[in-house]
Amino acid sequence: MADWCLLVIGHKSHLVNLDLKIIDIKNFGNFPSDFLKKKKMGIEFDLFGKSSKLLPYNLSDIQKNLQRGPQIISPKDIAWIVYNLDIKSNDVVVEAGGGSGALTTALAQASFPKGKVITFEKNKKHYNIVQKNLDLSPYSDLVELRNEELMNQTESIPCNSIVLDLPEPQSLINWAEKSLELGGKILCYVPTINQVEKLLSSLSQWSELEISEIMHRTWQTKLDAILPDTNILGHTGFIVSARLLNR
Amino acid sequence: MADWCLLVIGHKSHLVNLDLKIIDIKNFGNFPSDFLKKKKMGIEFDLFGKSSKLLPYNLSDIQKNLQRGPQIISPKDIAWIVYNLDIKSNDVVVEAGGGSGALTTALAQASFPKGKVITFEKNKKHYNIVQKNLDLSPYSDLVELRNEELMNQTESIPCNSIVLDLPEPQSLINWAEKSLELGGKILCYVPTINQVEKLLSSLSQWSELEISEIMHRTWQTKLDAILPDTNILGHTGFIVSARLLNR
Amino acid sequence: MADWCLLVIGHKSHLVNLDLKIIDIKNFGNFPSDFLKKKKMGIEFDLFGKSSKLLPYNLSDIQKNLQRGPQIISPKDIAWIVYNLDIKSNDVVVEAGGGSGALTTALAQASFPKGKVITFEKNKKHYNIVQKNLDLSPYSDLVELRNEELMNQTESIPCNSIVLDLPEPQSLINWAEKSLELGGKILCYVPTINQVEKLLSSLSQWSELEISEIMHRTWQTKLDAILPDTNILGHTGFIVSARLLNR
Amino acid sequence: MADWCLLVIGHKSHLVNLDLKIIDIKNFGNFPSDFLKKKKMGIEFDLFGKSSKLLPYNLSDIQKNLQRGPQIISPKDIAWIVYNLDIKSNDVVVEAGGGSGALTTALAQASFPKGKVITFEKNKKHYNIVQKNLDLSPYSDLVELRNEELMNQTESIPCNSIVLDLPEPQSLINWAEKSLELGGKILCYVPTINQVEKLLSSLSQWSELEISEIMHRTWQTKLDAILPDTNILGHTGFIVSARLLNR
């Protein structure tokens, strides 16, 4: 795990890697990381004339700085997935695929300190991106990242929750029934209604079926011109979840 | 903490209190709780001709069974609040007011096992409801519930996050600036735009201001008639958050 | 056509039928219609101590006072349908079924004064409701209301637009291709995605396919508590339209 | 008025101006307009190997081909404005400002054949764009376009409806009260909540106050991948309307 830190300059914050020799802040300037390493957390110092300080960083700082690979699940959906699945310490969560690791990191934080996330990502390039992004966070120890495809033949894994962000999640429902503890939930994230239909067919024996769309409408924060933002996501994916009460 | 358990009958689950003498399941029937107490978790048994079993329960089971008091924050908003505030183990969270305890319980689970939630609820009746609802969950030990009003004069509490679900959150911004650790966030939940405006005025020195509305659109799950639900909440509240980077 | 009129009492308006002997205003009182018949349009008079007047009425007054029968298409959808179909004077529009006549009346007004609306409604009870509601408006002369089912075998009707609010609109696409003028549009209003799919299959040779949902979010108008209304329609129907450019 | 026509090539339609010497179709080719002038409406002919024909055009063809100037009111809002104001033949409508003429043209079509639209546009450049766009339509005779600012001192104009798409519509409420017939409506289109608030203050003596937002969610039409479009407009403007029942 690299030596990350939140550098506050005036009213803005920047996630910086102190392992690099030179810290380069966009639209501001660059300077040796040694300069920062001598600073104590929370104590103000001068940086090119600006009042600055180092602070601990959190998950949202990481999420904003993920290396982009395959499409990243948006914050509104991550929030709902983690809550809907009721992830908490001690939980074992299986995730496939890994995407860019945005959800992986959030699942890991929610299951911290005593849970575990097992993430399947068959694509080597994506696998590397997930690994790199996980290293941004303090939770990489909780994640078992497998460079393989989750398939119906994969050995079952006793777990509390399963998240599938894959084109054909319906093909893994049998595996899920074998792996999931009774009372646990599966959640599938799919872009099209056609996929929702296939899922519904295969989940007919499950309980508490839900299909959700989460919309996040942000507003501009200028006091004299309060209005909703023009550009919002009209659609990301349908979230289909179900609970296993009988096997 | 009472002896709660999830009773599965066929494809439906019911949160039941084994401390009661008689278990009464709506539209099903009633029977002595002793009958259930002898059962082992996860093992099927017959209940009036229906295959049944006991299972551990989770937060969503609790949320569906909260005693109703003041308006309950809806799941879509709870999910976003917990995620946006980045609550995790070891965090100290201050909440005012307590409402019905739905958010309190979610905050407690997110900060489990080593965090802490300090909840202010001045109204004695609501305080009792929060207490009762907290007792449904395994997290009541993490919550310090205070039957008092959070005011600007209240002694400051070092904390990582502050959630205000109150009519005039702008009056507590000074208190928040004293209490919150640098890098921490305040989040206010308010129904009207007029309240948003007052908040924006008082948060002008804060960073990362955001105004959000979360909409949750649920769909019917019948395979031959897939359509969005007619009744959705058109509005619950605006979520205004800001981060303290400078004091 | 009955003798309808808009009665304004203070800041509220009421659509009243002067052909009735007694005018009964909810939460206000009742009085002989003769009293109103002597009044001139727009001239104030006293009604039980309230300043009142008679005014001409318009389509929105009618829409609010329709006799309820089968589900009424909501104003947001009527507005989009009339605009999307580009209805104007001289147009011939075919509609099936008639519903409660809300859309029929709007189509008639849009095609006024020289257009024509041909409405198929097989259900005798609904047919009577449409007829009664049409009589509220000054446009009943423009509407040919048929108490029969529109079927593929129905003789073709040269027309500029076709609106289908029926469970199986896909069964009428052949009829539409024969009846519609080149350049004209068909528009189908269906509640489920399953119906949308069937329609898409049958419209594959058409141009300018569009699937739309219209959402109408209303806000409360109290100056000191501006917020969106809580109860909005989460779903009414999908609007599928297509243009016939080739036969 | 120029000699416009709808040219259909295969499954696509193109609005073309036969007054130009050369017709240039993007991603297709160009050819002399004389070639089209000899063709009869609706009769197929060959164009570079593609089955083609000429058809009459309608308002939606015009709207898609408007010259862009100031921001164009979007179709979803135009549809609601025309319907909400109940525009029909014989109506006199006052509009300020003219924008790019998209709404002007729709108001003119709705008031066709015997109504009238009086449009105020003080900006000479915008005025010219409105004029040019009006000339696309067959309705320019119904529109009186004034290159002046509508102000409280402007002589009153007896009318049935008033539409204000201006930064400070509240300053024109007195003028509206003098000009509007009793029973008529004013409608203001404003982007920010701050403007909504100022309007509400000045409309306190009016009736039937409404604040609306119209959202239009479009879906992709590929049968094997049905999903909502990602890019939708999160916000265009708030629509505030009120009715004048008392002067």
Q: Is D194 in contact with A226 (Cβ distance < 8 A)?
A: yes
Q: Using the predicted structure, report yes or no on whether residue A156 has a pLDDT greater than 80.
A: yes
- pLDDT band per the 50, 70, 90 thresholds, residue B84: very high
Given a contact as 3+ CB pairs under 8 Å, which chains touch A? B, D
| Pairing outcome for strands D231-233 and A231-233 | antiparallel
- Quick check: A71 pLDDT over 90? no
Q: For every residue of B45-94, which 3-state class applies, written as one string?
A: EEECCEEEEEECCCHHHHHHCCCCCCCCCCHHHHHHHHHHCCCCCCCEEE
Tokens of B235: 């509005």
pLDDT (0 to 100) of residue A197: 97
Q: Is the pLDDT of residue B73 over 80?
A: yes
Give the distance from residue A143's alpha carbon to the nearest chain B alpha carbon, in angstroms.
16
Residue indicated by tokens 């990481």: A62
**Nearest residue in D to C81, CA atom:** D79
The per-residue DSSP string of C150-184 comes to: --TTSPP--EEEEEE-SS-GGGGHHHHHHHEEEEE
Contact, B220 vs B227, CB < 8 A? Answer: yes
Confidence (pTM)? 0.95
Which of D192, D229, D234 has the CB atom closest to A235's CB atom? D229
List of chain A residues whose C-beta atoms are within 8 Å of the C-beta of residue D234 = 217-218, 228-232
List pLDDT tens digits, range B200-232. 999 999 999 999 999 999 999 999 999 999 988
Q: How far apart are CA C99 and CA B118, in angstroms?
A: 56
- Specify whether the CB–CB gap between D164 and D187 falls below 8 A: yes
The pair of three-digit structure tokens given for residue D243, joined into one six-digit string: 């009715």
| Per-residue pLDDT tens over the stretch B150-198 | 999 999 999 999 999 999 999 999 999 999 999 999 999 999 999 999 9
Q: Residue C64: count other Cβ atoms within 10 Å of its Cβ.
A: 11
Chain B: list its partners (3+ Cβ pairs within 8 Å): A, C
With a threshold of 0.90, tell me whether the complex ipTM lies above it. Answer: yes
**Closest CA of chain D from A172, distance in Å:** 21
Q: Among B82, D242, D239, D219, which residue's Cα sits nearest to residue A86?
A: B82
Name residue, tokens 């020289």.
Answer: C114
Classify residue B87 as exposed, middle or buried by CB count within 10 Å of its CB (0-12, 13-18, 19+): buried
Bond from prior residue into A97 cis (ω within 30 degrees of 0): yes
Cβ(D186)–Cβ(D165) below 8 Å: no
Q: Tell me how far apart the alpha carbons of residues C14 and C6 are, in angstroms, rounded to a whole number.
A: 6
B192, B224, B231 ranked by CB distance to C234: nearest = B231
Q: Which pLDDT value is given to residue D37?
A: 94
Amino acid letter, A247? R
**Omega prior to B32 cis, within 30 of 0:** no
SS3 content of chain B, % helix, strand, coil (to 5): 25, 35, 40
pLDDT of residue A69: 84
- Give the one of C55, C208, C212 whose C-beta lies nearest to D183's C-beta: C55
Cβ atoms of residues C232 and B232 within 8 Å:
yes
For residues D120 and D208, what is the distance between their CA atoms, to the nearest angstrom? 26
pLDDT in tens, A21-49: 999 999 999 999 999 999 999 999 999 99
Task: Give Cα separations from A4 to A29, A63, A66, A179, B208 (angstroms).
Answer: 19, 13, 13, 36, 20
Average pLDDT score over residue span A221-239:
94
Please check whether residue C91 is in contact with residue C115, taking contact to mean a CB–CB distance below 8 angstroms.
yes
Q: How far apart are CA A81 and CA A75, in angstroms?
A: 10
Contacts 24+ apart (CB under 8 A), B11-19: B11/A207, B11/A245, B11/A246, B12/A207, B12/A245, B13/A183, B13/A207, B13/A208, B13/A243, B13/A245, B13/B55, B13/B61, B15/B57, B15/B61, B15/B62, B15/B64, B15/B65, B15/B136
| Residue B147: both structure tokens together | 């039957």
Which residues contact residue C235 at a Cβ distance below 8 angstroms, ignoring those fewer than 6 apart? B227, B228, B229, B230, B232, C191, C213
> Which of helix, strand or coil describes residue C56?
coil
Q: Which parts of chain C register pLDDT below 70?
A: 1
The pLDDT score that the predictor gives to residue B231 is: 87
Chain B residues near residue C231 by CB distance under 8 angstroms = 231, 234
Concatenated DSSP letters for D173-204?
HHHHHHHEEEEEEEEEEESSHHHHHHHHHHTT
Tens of pLDDT along B10-48? 999 999 999 999 999 999 999 999 999 999 999 999 999
Q: Residue A181 carries which side chain, given as an amino acid letter? A: E
pLDDT, residue B1, reads 57
Please name the residue ranges forming H helices in A14-172. 33-37, 59-64, 75-84, 102-111, 124-134
Cβ within 8 Å, pair A207-B12: yes
The list of chain D residues with pLDDT below 70 reads 1
